[in-house]
Structure 1
Amino acid sequence: MDQRTPVFLLLTFVPFLVLANNQTSVEDVTGLRSLKDQWTNTPPSWGSTPDPCEDGWDGIGCTNARVITLTLPSMNLTGTLSGDIQQLSELQKLDLSYNKGLTGPLPQEIGSLKNLSQLILMGCKFSGPIPPTIGSLQELVVLSLNSNRFSGTIPSSIGKISKLYLLDLAENKLEGPIPVSGGGEPGLDMLSQCKHFHLGMNKLSGPIPSKLFSSNMSLIHVVFESNNLNGSIPSSLGVVQSLEVVRFDNNMLSGHVPVNLNNLTSVSQLFLSNNKLSGPAPNLTGMNFLHYVDLSNNSFDVSDVPPWFSTLESLTTLMMENTQLRGEIPSALFSLPNLQTVVLRNNKLNGTLDIGTGDTSQLDLIDLEQNLISAYDGRYNGTLLLMKNPICNKSGASRIYCKISKSSDVIPSYNTTSNNCVPSPCTSNQVSSPNCKCAYPYEGTLIFTAPSFSDLKNSTRYKELEKNLTDFFLSKQLADSVSLSNLTKDSLSYLRLSLEIFPHGQDRFTRKEVSSIASQLGTHIYQPPEYFEPFYFMGGYYQHFADVPLESKKSSNVGIIVGAAAGGSVLVLIFLLIKVYAIRQKRRAKGAADQNNPFVKWDVDKGSGSIPQLKGVISFSFKELLKYSNNFSEGNDVGSGGYGKVYRGTLPTGQLVAIKRAHKESIQGRHQFKTEIELLSRVHHKNLVSLVGFCFDRGEEMLVYEYVANGTLKDSLSGQSGIRLDWKRRLKIALGAARGLAYLHELCDPPIIHRDIKSTNILLDNRLTAKVSDFGLSKSMDDNGRDHLSTQVKGTMGYLDPEYYMTQRLTEKSDVYAFGVVMLELLTARRPIEQGKYIVRGVRMAMDKTKDLYNLQQLLDPAIGLGMAVRGLERFVDLAMMCVEEEVANRPTMSEMVKEIETIMHLAGLNPNVESASSSASYEMSSSKDPYTNDAFDYSGVFPASKIDSQ
């Protein structure tokens, strides 16, 4: 008999043993094993024992030997969901949320799960169309597919799911019309039991069908913001009197607002801003539960202040910027008992501003900038903005309200404090909980999509939310305490809070506990205080599971058979172990030799030059980096570019690193690999990204950098990172980057020219310290006595020095030019070349030094703020324009730049030698998609020299 026979028999007969003992059905076992083969990072219990139900595979729930629940949220699963899911024919709940490594389409076979009541796939990366077969899930109550990459149209077949309670398709790439019934086809209007239509942040187009709404519907949330919807708001909306939240903002809606809108007397949040609505301003009289109203930036008819301004007792926030309002503001408005924010800027309001004599202590902001107000009674102590009103044009007008201008909302910092105890000094990645116990918390973000308040400084609300969360999880014995931090508010008025949940009675969670917490938050079993509604939760990956030892529950006869089979395999295993040991010893000896000489396989004939010459960096093996990056999983993928992909990794010391893995056989990659390890191994400065090590093993070329948490400067300027950069932070970032370049140009021996300075190559750490990165195109000035290098033109369009481009003469001043473009980005938050317009030329043409802010108000990023907080801005503009002078001789050196930026910081009231405060104190961060890759291009012979001038 072949020696492999016992092992073969064991593997062959296990499914039959399971069947013989009346345990999990073969169909379910086969389906789960198929899923396991398609996924990585499944729980250790999967496959370690033969029976999912009897042996308790993590995430599997069973009834009568059939799998009815599959819940694996936040497990870092990677792979696809195949049609084999149909084999779990009794499945009632499928929850794979917050696994960003799950990609590909949702299979058509999902429609075969006739008993499915909850399909929860939020926060993954599924793509492609939503299959029409989903309409076959007649038992479905919860359908949460939000925050994926689904495309195509919304299947009309969803209208057949009559029991549906929650429909959440937000934050995808869905397009086309909203489907309604007709011509024999179903539509969303048939979902009479549904409470939630969450379809925001997609690409939906066309009009909102009148048929979509009817009086027999139970909707409480209609959330359609940030789509491409056009046409008018249908009057049928006014008959859905159960509605509580209505969001149609950031679309292209036009026409009159329905006159019956005020029939919606239960609505507390109404967002219609940033559309093209016309006709009279809507009449909201009688909407007495209304908390938050935003009608800004529409084309309403010029009209007097509506009477409902003074009657809505619940109102906390009134925003009607740029809506053609005129006349005097009634003083009774400011006496509303709950009012916190009034924004009526850019209208035609006139007369005397009378705040009244009532209690305005809760009123935090009155923004009436750019109106026609001529007088003010001066009785308000909060923030009042009256810039660009006649009252500020009078001689002697020196009040503070005429000097400051509204920038983005100032977000206060908020962090949970300890519960009357001393925080414990924790080791490794543990965190001290509010109860001062060291543990590994489960982390995520709470997103409140329509909070009913706007005063973010009131910490009482967040303390109430903390207590509410803590009491909820304690009641279920899931958590010891919770911590909230990183309060932010984005352009859609979404309020975000980072959430840490600490385990109850131990220092880490089990997989079952994490699944339960994610489910409670993801399916809205947990209910926050009412003024935080609606909300959703985005969980993170939890990597500190407490794995519970598996207890075998198999019957004795199975144990005997398995034991016999295993005994028959002992001799085979001994033989195999001896052979494996010999092979490993041989490989170890070879690996040691290769480790001592990592470039033993460097091929000088591949056009990459001689073997790299290094100073003091670590050589990692491929096996080590495979382990540190979790097998280069998609969950650890933080970006990609022409060079290859970048993965987040964790060294045994706990240090986070970024592993830049080149495409195999990439000649350009080999050049960059050699250049970067040689240069970065000999430069060390806090404003340059540090090289930790490299890998040249098994045909792989990888660079290992320090991990820079907050991504690229471009991400922050564009709003992708969630960081709001005020003027002072922009100055500190500019100074840091300038210091890094000055070090390269003047303190390195020989000097180094970066050659690809741009906003995507300036990274921001957790204190928003700027770090220059990507040295793949850099050049050393290693020829003594020369003031330039003659070389092929390389770099990125929009940042290229025109003189270098035309003459191929590279100097340090080429970096100065590119840095000047970055400075203009800091000022405008615009790309260097945008819609065919070159930022340098645009600023140069618009500048008028005889006017306030050099007449650049239309180009400047509003997030900077344009009042007293931007002292030194004109001088900063002057400096940037000196950097982008056509003639090299007229540009300053980087050391001169450092001194000048330091002077500007002094003017702004900053100490240039004090580090920025931690960004995590007041802002939520999201890692950049691509902070380490280099997408620069070799432009030699590609574009004519006139291309630069024409921009």
Structure 2
Amino acid sequence: MGQKILVFLLLVFRPILGMAVADNQDFPGLMTLKEDWKKKPPGWKGSDPCSDWEGIECTGSRVTSIKLSSMGLEGTLSEEIQNLSELQTLDLSYNKGLIGKLPQSIGKLKKLTNLILVGCSFSGPIPDTIGSLEQLFFLSLNSNKFSGGIPPSIGNLPKLNWLDMADNNLEGPIPVSNGSTSGLDMLLHTKHFHFGKNKLSGEILEKLFNSSMKLIHVLFESNNLTGKIPSTLGLVQTLEVVRFDRNNLVGKVPSNLNSLTNVSELYLSNNRLSGPVPDITGMNNLAYLDMSNNSFDVSDIPTWFSTLTSLTTLIMERTKLKGELPVDLFSLPSLQTVVLKNNQVNGTLDIGTIYSNRLQLIDLQYNSITEYKKGLYSDTLILANNPVCQETETETGTGTESYCKVSTDSQSDGNSTYTTPSNNCVPSTCNPNQISSPNCRCAYPYTGILEFRAPSFSDLGNKSIYKELENKLLTSFQSHQLLVDSVALSDPKKGSIYLDLSLEVFPYSRDRFNRTEISEIGFLLSNQTFKPPKYFGPFVFHGDEYENYGETEKSKSSIGIIIGAAAGGSVLVLLLLLVGVYAFRQKRRAERSSEISRPFVLWDANKTSAGAPQLKGARWFSYEELAKYTNNFSTANEIGSGGFGKVYRGNLPTGELIAIKKSEKESKQGGREFKTEIELLSRVHHKNLVSLVGFCFENNEQLLIYEYVPNGSLKDSLSGKSGIRLDWMRRLKASLGTARGLAYLHELANPPIIHRDIKSTNVLLDDHLNAKVADFGLSKLIGEDDEDHISTQVKGTMGYLDPEYYMSQQLTEKSDVYSFGVLMLELITARTPIEKGKYIVREVQKTLDKNQGLYNLHRLLDPSIGLATKLRGFEKYVDLALRCVEEAGSDRPTMSEVVKEIENIMELAGLNPNADSASASASYEEVSKPSSHYSPNNETFYCSGAFPPSQIEPQ
């Protein structure tokens, strides 16, 4: 009410006071935004947004630009946004707290040229009114939760250059025009189609592409598209990057792709393409080619292998290639990687004496090579499971040739240890949360992840490419008058989809940025003003919330001073009275806001032996709110219980369901676990991790609020409690989802995280039966000083606990790998790890006979897995599980290796590893209504000191 009185007051007396208040059409709209956002820039206090408010830019008195990236905004986008009729740029990127639907009224912003909402949490359908924004040049809605179809009306945007809707939940076909409706085929001037990581389905119609288009990037990876690759794709001569991998495409590859002479990256892997391996001789600029895992006819090694002089990376696993590799292939000047696993390559392997000095990896596992002609090549060569290695083993009894072993080199893992070095200086010792910059100055950097969607190189150990990227970033920031001292890159990681790089941007001459600077840096990255070196390909930035702002340079004049100085006489009295009322209300609001902004002011560090939690964007709820959402924590809303306390289902005013974990006085877990879980979950975001919605710390109450995961835990399904039948395909999918979640924690979270309590009760199943890792109360964050190991009190769950960790008290990521291996065995047996005095790992090891069908494990398997059908890939699955539970951590695979192997197993089983679980098996039967609950465990134990290793097993 106080805000509304103030708005009315400023509008009525504006002619008298002569204020430079924003135009009366704009100010109400901005005030509505301010009221709708629970968390907003604290500098939004003055009466003139055009000069006082961060992120607001005006032309005259009209608002033309709103740039608020990485501000930690929370709330929804109001329909009143339509009042900002002169708005040209709206960038709200990297604000995870922005939720709800995008308002239909967005279509009334007729002058909008840039609509950028990267990395928020908007959901629901994308409004078709976007198609009326005829001035729109840049549309980036990627990395949200949008659902429904691609609005055909987007085809009405004649000036659109950049179209990015990747990483959402979009469904249905790719729209094309049909006379009465618009479609993407009408976007003749658009250069970027970015639709990867969605759920798009149906055939790609021939009409989608035509020769008048100016497209350079066509990215449709990781969808559910079917049918053939349209031959019209070959008509778009401007194309540079093409990704159709990880779909369900069939048929022959169009022969006219050969004419796309500008394409440098071509990804067609993980489909069901058939016919002969295509002839792409004419693609002279092709640098990166991946056609792996398709159903091509058995084909001779193509002659064009040796003619693509720009080629850096050749990946053609499982493509039925046969014959001898030409020696000329390895002399291609730019060649870095050759991966031809699981083919029929035979004869003699001759790399020659003149080969590319950039060649880092040759992987020819599972072929029929009988001889290796040794030369001068000394980098990674893998010939395991070829006759040449079997013969060596037979003749020598050892098979010790290095090329006969699977390499664990970081390059073959797709990772690198690169970190930007210091610039001829000694790194400073900094205060907590500060970081020493490359120029050895302590500061709070702006951080995030640069995600490159189609790099044209595969040698991640080449430091010069990162140096060039650093220089270009710094030059770009400084050329836009941003006070940036230096940038740092680290942790290059090449997963199955993209290349990720951690970015830190450091301020110049002081230790922190202000909000205006952060919004400008974020905008430079979100709207693609920054252009990386071309071989990095298309990219997207995922910015973190910045929490250590300095003072903004804009005026901070109070409303009372402006009004008091401008008003006089009776007007002054009236204004002072109203301002007094407003100030009183604001004081009460400020007191409430103080609780929200400093929810842990009463945190008792002595009691918990831990400092107050440090959050990265989690939402604060009052106890009163949560009681309302759960009908006062009624027993009817109770959906589970565990060591922490009880779990309740709640319903937010938006209709979103939540799960609320409420601690009890007798809880086995305490403040430290509460702190750990909210700190870690507030900083990690992955589809295979349970999302933290928020928390409550009030009057000694500790509550954690999660997304609602409707189908309970893996344990519930394996035990029959949920009524959901998990056949072989679904168990593979659950394994893959869990593995991907752990791989993210180990390798993409910054810093990395060890879960420390992986088990079937801590893996939940969503409405599509996708696995989500939960319960981070025992997790451990790996700091810079202890990346190799952590000496720690042993914590975990009996049966899943890594014996090496227990004996040495040295915690590593391989401890999670061990627990995951136990979970894999539990998935196929439906037995708890320790049951009737028997340990599942030892039972499998004792029973296993590799000369028998299903490795002789019939009596241990869960009958509901579908024993009547062929369990394709079962033996490889068991082999992988047993590798995960090797006694020595060094003998266990990494989680990223586990992910790749399970993906391969699923493909062997005829299952698309990127398809939704709910459709992964036609044999799924819903026996009864699944129980809907978040299921925390009550099996956790803590131990310190020593006791016999036998106690890891049941007594």
Instruction: Please tell me whether residue 763 in structure 1 is matched to residue 767 in structure 2.
Output: no
Find 2:222's aligned residue among 223, 226, 229. 226
Instruction: Please tell me whether residue 51 in structure 1 is matched to residue 51 in structure 2.
Output: no
TM-score of the aligned structures, taking structure 1 as reference length: 0.70
How far 1:360 moved relative to its partner?
3.7
Q: Confirm or deny: 8 A CA contact 2:236 2:260 kept in the other structure.
A: yes
Q: Confirm or deny: 8 A CA contact 2:249 2:273 kept in the other structure.
A: yes
Find 1:321's aligned residue among 283, 302, 317. 317
Q: Confirm or deny: 8 A CA contact 1:405 1:865 kept in the other structure.
A: no
**Aligned partners of 1:558 and 1:31: how far apart in 2?**
25
**Aligned partners of 2:194 and 2:890: how far apart in 1?**
48
**Aligned partners of 2:57 and 2:889: how far apart in 1?**
61
- In structure 2, relative to structure 1, the CA distance for the partners of 1:371 and 1:38 (3 Å cut) is same
Could you tell me which residue of structure 2 aligns to residue 393 of structure 1? 390
Could you tell me which residue of structure 2 aligns to residue 404 of structure 1? 406
Q: Confirm or deny: 8 A CA contact 1:370 1:388 kept in the other structure.
A: yes
- In structure 2, relative to structure 1, the CA distance for the partners of 1:270 and 1:16 (3 Å cut) is same
Q: Which amino acid aligns with 1:486?
A: D
How far 1:761 moved relative to its partner?
6.4
- In structure 2, relative to structure 1, the CA distance for the partners of 1:297 and 1:772 (3 Å cut) is farther
Query: Which range moves more in the overlay, 482-491 or 572-581?
Result: 572-581
How far 1:400 moved relative to its partner?
1.6
Could you tell me which residue of structure 2 aligns to residue 675 of structure 1? 666
Find 2:33's aligned residue among 32, 35, 42. 35
Q: Which amino acid aligns with 1:404?
A: V
**Aligned partners of 1:643 and 1:835: how far apart in 2?**
40
Find 1:488's aligned residue among 493, 510, 514. 493
Find 1:501's aligned residue among 498, 501, 505. 505
**Aligned partners of 1:858 and 1:628: how far apart in 2?**
41
Could you tell me which residue of structure 1 aligns to residue 936 of structure 2? 936
Could you tell me which residue of structure 2 aligns to residue 77 of structure 1? 73
Find 2:540's aligned residue among 531, 536, 543. 536
Could you tell me which residue of structure 2 aligns to residue 275 of structure 1? 271
- C-alpha distance after superposition, 1:833-886 (max 9, x if no partner): 479899998996797656599969956889x998xxx9xx67946xxxxxxxxx
Q: Confirm or deny: 8 A CA contact 2:645 2:663 kept in the other structure.
A: no
How far 1:551 moved relative to its partner?
5.6
TM-score of the aligned structures, taking structure 2 as reference length: 0.69
**Aligned partners of 1:140 and 1:579: how far apart in 2?**
41
Instruction: Please tell me whether residue 826 in structure 1 is matched to residue 823 in structure 2.
Output: no
- C-alpha distance after superposition, 1:537-558 (max 9, x if no partner): 1111111222335165999997
How far 1:32 moved relative to its partner?
0.4
Q: Confirm or deny: 8 A CA contact 2:817 2:892 kept in the other structure.
A: no
Instruction: Please tell me whether residue 147 in structure 1 is matched to residue 138 in structure 2.
Output: no
**Aligned partners of 2:90 and 2:342: how far apart in 1?**
50
Q: Confirm or deny: 8 A CA contact 2:800 2:822 kept in the other structure.
A: no
How far 1:362 moved relative to its partner?
1.4
Alignment of 1:351-366 (within 5 A): 351-366=347-362
- C-alpha distance after superposition, 1:25-79 (max 9, x if no partner): 1110000001110002222232x222222x3311111112111111111100000
Which segments of 5 or more consecutive residues in structure 1 lack a partner in the other structure? 586-594, 599-613, 635-640, 646-658, 705-711, 727-731, 739-756, 779-794, 801-811, 813-819, 878-900, 911-932, 940-951
Alignment of 1:836-915 (within 5 A): 851=850, 876=885, 904=888
**Aligned partners of 1:462 and 1:643: how far apart in 2?**
55
SS of the residue corresponding to residue 741 of structure 2 reads coil
Alignment of 1:364-763 (within 5 A): 364-379=360-375, 380-394=377-391, 395-396=394-395, 397-404=399-406, 409-478=413-482, 479-492=484-497, 494-548=498-552, 550=555, 559-561=565-567, 616-617=607-608, 632=620, 672-676=663-667, 680=670, 697-698=698-699, 700-702=701-703, 718-720=739-741, 722-723=743-744, 763=779
Q: Which amino acid aligns with 1:765?
A: L
Q: Which amino acid aligns with 1:121?
A: L
- In structure 2, relative to structure 1, the CA distance for the partners of 1:833 and 1:337 (3 Å cut) is same
**Aligned partners of 1:512 and 1:430: how far apart in 2?**
20
How far 1:523 moved relative to its partner?
1.1
| Aligned residues: CA RMSD | 5.1
Q: Which amino acid aligns with 1:37?
A: E
**Aligned partners of 2:328 and 2:385: how far apart in 1?**
24
**Aligned partners of 1:130 and 1:695: how far apart in 2?**
32
Q: Confirm or deny: 8 A CA contact 1:762 1:772 kept in the other structure.
A: no
Alignment of 1:185-204 (within 5 A): 185-204=181-200
- In structure 2, relative to structure 1, the CA distance for the partners of 1:681 and 1:136 (3 Å cut) is closer
Matched length:
756
Q: Confirm or deny: 8 A CA contact 2:608 2:672 kept in the other structure.
A: no
Could you tell me which residue of structure 2 aligns to residue 653 of structure 1? none
How far 1:477 moved relative to its partner?
3.0
SS of the residue corresponding to residue 720 of structure 1 reads helix
Instruction: Please tell me whether residue 301 in structure 1 is matched to residue 297 in structure 2.
Output: yes
Q: Confirm or deny: 8 A CA contact 2:73 2:97 kept in the other structure.
A: yes
How far 1:445 moved relative to its partner?
0.8
**Aligned partners of 1:214 and 1:574: how far apart in 2?**
65
- In structure 2, relative to structure 1, the CA distance for the partners of 1:722 and 1:485 (3 Å cut) is farther
Q: Confirm or deny: 8 A CA contact 2:415 2:491 kept in the other structure.
A: no
- In structure 2, relative to structure 1, the CA distance for the partners of 1:177 and 1:352 (3 Å cut) is same
Alignment of 1:233-244 (within 5 A): 233-244=229-240
SS of the residue corresponding to residue 158 of structure 2 reads coil
- C-alpha distance after superposition, 1:502-534 (max 9, x if no partner): 112332212221111111111111111111111
SS of the residue corresponding to residue 197 of structure 1 reads strand
- In structure 2, relative to structure 1, the CA distance for the partners of 1:642 and 1:435 (3 Å cut) is farther
Q: Which amino acid aligns with 1:673?
A: E
**Aligned partners of 1:416 and 1:714: how far apart in 2?**
35
Q: Which amino acid aligns with 1:421?
A: C
Q: Confirm or deny: 8 A CA contact 2:153 2:183 kept in the other structure.
A: yes
How far 1:431 moved relative to its partner?
1.8
Q: Confirm or deny: 8 A CA contact 2:72 2:617 kept in the other structure.
A: no
- In structure 2, relative to structure 1, the CA distance for the partners of 1:409 and 1:615 (3 Å cut) is closer
SS of the residue corresponding to residue 359 of structure 1 reads coil
**Aligned partners of 1:579 and 1:308: how far apart in 2?**
75
Q: Confirm or deny: 8 A CA contact 2:69 2:95 kept in the other structure.
A: yes
Q: Confirm or deny: 8 A CA contact 2:101 2:123 kept in the other structure.
A: yes
**Aligned partners of 1:113 and 1:317: how far apart in 2?**
45
Could you tell me which residue of structure 2 aligns to residue 60 of structure 1? 56
Instruction: Point out the structure with max Rg over C-alpha.
Output: 1
SS of the residue corresponding to residue 501 of structure 2 reads strand
**Aligned partners of 1:580 and 1:316: how far apart in 2?**
62
- C-alpha distance after superposition, 1:310-358 (max 9, x if no partner): 0011100000100010111100001101101000111111111111120
- C-alpha distance after superposition, 1:286-310 (max 9, x if no partner): 2111000000000101110111100
How far 1:680 moved relative to its partner?
4.8
- In structure 2, relative to structure 1, the CA distance for the partners of 1:562 and 1:474 (3 Å cut) is farther
SS of the residue corresponding to residue 518 of structure 2 reads helix
